[in-house]
Amino acid sequence: MQVWHVLLIILAILVVVLIVLYFLGKRLQKRQNEQKAQIEAAKQQMTLLIIDKKRMRVTESGLPQSVIDQVPRLMRRSKLPVVKVKAGPKIMTMIADEAIFDIIPVKKEVRATVSGIYITDVKAVRGKLPVPEKKKKGIRAKLAAWRSNASKELEAQAGGSGKSKKSK
């Protein structure tokens, strides 16, 4: 067998894998849109007193057993943003949206948009919500910034030597 036969077979396999991933991604996107629509339909405003917030495994979080049973087996080991709140006289364990978990204040009263046990949005009742401090850049982010700066410098040097490139 020649080298180009092997390369042709590898290319065919890659094309099949990409097609499968495309259709799988479309199906997952459709499922996610349906779930978001259900959350939007069931949302309601509540005043909550935030007692504590942590990232915990589903099995250790203190959620009801019926919720833990509905979580897929592979997701049971991953950590969720869990918030312990007091809604009226009742203390509950809720799951926060990953996007708002950092801005949820601890030991303060907030006006939250809740859908079941899922907190989707938070607004301050008194004052303003604290702005989360910026996290330290990881090595990957530093390398990406260094690469973009280097490419800008190269474009500037190429632009100065008579070659015309589109500048952003």
The full set of domain ranges for the chain reads: 1-42, 43-124
pLDDT category at 74 given cuts 50, 70, 90 is confident
Q: How far apart are CA 11 and CA 17, in angstroms?
A: 10
Please tell me the predicted confidence (pLDDT) of residue 160: 63
Residue 168 pLDDT greater than 70, yes or no: no
Structure tokens at 19: 């097609």
Please tell me the predicted confidence (pLDDT) of residue 138: 81
Q: What are phi and psi of 159, to 5 degrees?
A: -70, -35
Please tell me the predicted confidence (pLDDT) of residue 76: 83
User: Of the candidates 168, 131, 119, 134, which has an alpha carbon nearest to the alpha carbon of residue 148?
Assistant: 168
Give the class (CATH, top level) of 43-124: mainly beta
Mean pLDDT score of the chain = 87
46-55 average pLDDT score: 93
Residue 161 pLDDT greater than 60, yes or no: no
Kindly report whether the global pTM for this prediction surpasses the value 0.75: no
Residue holding tokens 């190429």?
158
